[in-house]
Amino acid sequence: MSSFDCIVIGSGNAGCCAALSSAEAGCDKVLIVDVCPDVWAGGNGYFTAGAFRTVHEGLHDLLPIVNNASKEKADSIDMDGYSGEDFLGDIMRLGNGKPDPVLAAAVVDASRDTISWLAHSVGLPFMFSFHRQAYSVGGRQKFWGGLVLCTEDGGKGLIAAHQRALAKAKVAVWFNCPAVQITMENGTVSGVVVEKEGQKLHLRAPAVVLAAGGFESNPVLRAQQLGLGWERAILRGTPYNQGDGFALAAAVGARQAGDWAGCHSTCWDADAPTDAGRRDLTNQFTKSGYPLGIMVNSAGKRFVDEGEDFRNYTYAKFGKAILLQPGGYAFQVWDSKVIGSLRKEEYGNGIVKKFLADRLEDLAEQLTEVGLEGKAEFVQTTKQFNEATRKFQAENPDATWNPAVKDGMSTQSSEYQLPLPKSNWALTIDEPPFMAVKVACGVTFTFGGLAVDPDTAGVISEKTSKVIPGLFCTGEMVGLFHENYPGGSGLMAGAVFGRKAGQAAAKLRA
């Protein structure tokens, strides 16, 4: 039998943070076990854009942390601060008031300090996310939507940096090694049973951190928990998050929390592989250009307000909206005015199948080959949208289109209103060439999780309402989010609770 000071289940961002924090806090023998083979190291973290949402005071606060803002570049940046009230307000607002405010505040309050820890102690290579979170307006880089930091080379860079830090801290990582049981003695965690090379091994440890992701990779559980139809969603990331962690936790009496009927899901290339993300393209199947155009379903009808809010606040719920459409797919549509502003990494040549035509009627004809059934409705929807947009512009001649702010350029004028508005960034779709891509629902991660102590990330017992001694939890497994989510909060929450779990775990060393 082997003994460790701390065993972490899962090698994603959250698990790595827990392991590194426990080593830093004094644990000598730290082990991460992961069910996946080593080529899948890093869980969903590998597939991310590496975007971290944090409280900050503005440009001067974050400049020392990033590696891509020279003095000259910094002079061209407009970046407002993002306060604790802003961050907490966003989690609560998007969650329709349902998230536990104390748990959410624990993430928010620790976020900025955790970014410094990640940068300086872990060695994450942070950058300003010019390519995804800023628009160039009048020669200035204007950040929007509260999210400014990402890691260099996205999730690939994030996980590579974690692996360097794990090696330096001498944390052992065992792949192809699922955790199958948490063992208890006298009501206290005593270790983990894992399967290794066909054998069951009982590994002893006074502290175990659950960081095994959600159940998004498991179509049966998705249909059971999220509802029928969710088995058809396309998986954006790792195929190994099968919900094992919740079965392990349930067996030792852990309390559930969070939104078990909810998940993060977004607009995803309809032609992407269905059962796992691709490790070469990772997040490039994301199709986040809808605020610049419109989305229509197979009947040729719009079904969301594409300009309801900044992309960071709508993208995590629009996957569900697409799944609920006939056939579970939709089309994003733009004209030549904005095609050049779509992100190359998502819409570049060879990345996605693009449909281009000089007339809307011809575009509709092409789209019938990939599922558009309402050809005439598609043309009518677009023309009606154009009419509404023109009427707004005629009534508001001073309004200026600006994707870096909520510009109020809408489809709703006193003379004419669409039944479903586009509330910001409405531009006519009338200058050829026209372009469309087909999108489907990509499921990212599930919101159902466990109840934890906000200070230590200790898992709460259903029976006693107290922490289960020795059991901690972080990442997707914490029941924090409900219904919707502010982009960049997943990695941040995993880092905050991972760090707290590691520190608390170190206090349990013999």
Ligand X SMILES: Cc1cc2nc3c(=O)[nH]c(=O)nc-3n(C[C@H](O)[C@H](O)[C@H](O)COP(=O)(O)OP(=O)(O)OC[C@H]3O[C@@H](n4cnc5c(N)ncnc54)[C@H](O)[C@@H]3O)c2cc1C
Binding of ligand X by 33 (CB under 6 A): yes
Could you say which of 7, 13, 203, 352 contacts ligand X (CB under 6 A)? 13
Q: Is 34 in the site for ligand X (CB under 6 A)?
A: yes
Asked whether position 9 contacts ligand X by CB under 6 A, the answer is yes
Task: Produce one character per residue of 416-444: b if its CB has 16 or more CB atoms within 10 Å, e if not.
Answer: bebeebbbbbbbbbbeeebbbbbbbbbbb
Binding mask 262-281 for ligand X (x = CB under 6 A): ---------------x----
Closest CA to 182 of 212, 220, 159: 212
283 forms part of the interface with ligand X (CB under 6 A):
yes
Based on the shown chain and the rule CB under 6 A, indicate whether residue 211 belongs to the binding site for ligand X.
Answer: yes
Cβ atoms of 253 and 461 within 8 Å: the answer is yes
Phi, psi of 201 (to 5 degrees): -120, 135
Output the smallest distance, CB 211 to ligand X, in A: 5
In angstroms, the CA 186 to CA 144 distance is 52
Instruction: Kindly tell me which residue out of 20, 35, 160, 367 binds ligand X, with binding defined by CB under 6 A.
Output: 35
The stretch near ligand X (CB under 6 A) out of 11-19, 182-190, 312-320, 428-436 is 11-19
Q: Tell me whether strands 294-297 and 329-334 are parallel, antiparallel or unpaired.
A: antiparallel
If one asks whether residue 258 binds ligand X (CB under 6 A), the answer comes out as no
Give me the numbers of helices (H) and strands (E) for the chain, helices first please: 15, 22
**Nearest approach, Cβ of residue 312 and ligand X (Å):** 10
Q: Which of 125, 178, 293, 486 binds ligand X (CB under 6 A)?
A: 178
Does the footprint of ligand X cover residue 20 (CB under 6 A)?
A: no
Tell whether residue 30 is a contact of ligand X (CB under 6 A): no
**Does residue 238 interact with ligand X by CB under 6 A?**
yes
By CB under 6 A, residue 499 contacts ligand X: no
> What is the smallest separation between the CB atom of 277 and ligand X, expressed in angstroms?
6
Phi and psi torsions of 327, nearest 5°: 80, -15
Least spacing, CB of residue 28 vs ligand X, in Å: 22
Q: Which of 271, 295, 264, 304 is nearest to 285 (CA)?
A: 271
* Choice between 212 and 409, CB closer to ligand X: 212
Q: Is residue 47 within the footprint of ligand X (CB under 6 A)?
A: yes
Q: Give the DSSP letter string of 91-138.
A: HHHHTTT-S-HHHHHHHHHHHHHHHHHIIIII---EEE-HHHHEEEET
Q: For residues 437-476, which are near ligand X according to CB under 6 A?
A: 444-445, 475-476
Q: Is residue 50 within the footprint of ligand X (CB under 6 A)?
A: yes
Q: Which is nearer to ligand X, 10 or 403 (CB)?
A: 10
Instruction: Please tell me whether residue 346 binds ligand X under the rule CB under 6 A.
Output: no
CA nearest to 207, candidates 505, 498, 481, 428: 505
The minimum distance between CB 469 and ligand X, in angstroms, equals: 21
> What does each C-alpha distance from 486 to 145, 275, 288, 310, 474 come to in angstroms?
9, 25, 14, 10, 18
Least separation in angstroms between residue 131's CB and ligand X is 12
Residue (of 157, 160, 11, 23) closest to 499 by Cα position: 23
Question: Which of 248/460 has CB closer to ligand X?
Answer: 248
Residues that bind ligand X (rule: CB under 6 A) add up to a total of: 42
| Phi/psi of residue 484, nearest 5 degrees | -150, 175
Q: Which span (104-112, 255-263, 288-296, 484-492) binds ligand X, by CB under 6 A?
A: 484-492
Closest distance between ligand X and the C-beta of residue 377, in Å? 32
Residue 129 Cβ vs ligand X, minimum distance, rounded to whole Å: 9
Candidates 4, 7, 8, 11; binder of ligand X (CB under 6 A) is 11
The window from 205-213, 318-326, 335-343, 450-458 that contacts ligand X (CB under 6 A) reads 205-213
Residue 189 contacts residue 207 (beta carbons within 8 Å): yes
User: For the residues of 6-51, what is the DSSP string, one character each?
Assistant: EEEE--SHHHHHHHHHHHHTT-SSEEEE-SS-GGGTTGGGGGS--E
What letters, b where the CB count within 10 A reaches 16 and e where it falls short, cover 68-90? ebeeeeeeebebeebeeebbbeb
Side by side, the strands of the sheet bearing 149-151 are 51-52, 149-151, 126-128
- Name the residues that contact ligand X, by CB under 6 A: 9-15, 33-36, 43-45, 47-51, 178-179, 211-213, 236-238, 240-241, 244-245, 277, 283, 444-445, 475-476, 488-491, 494
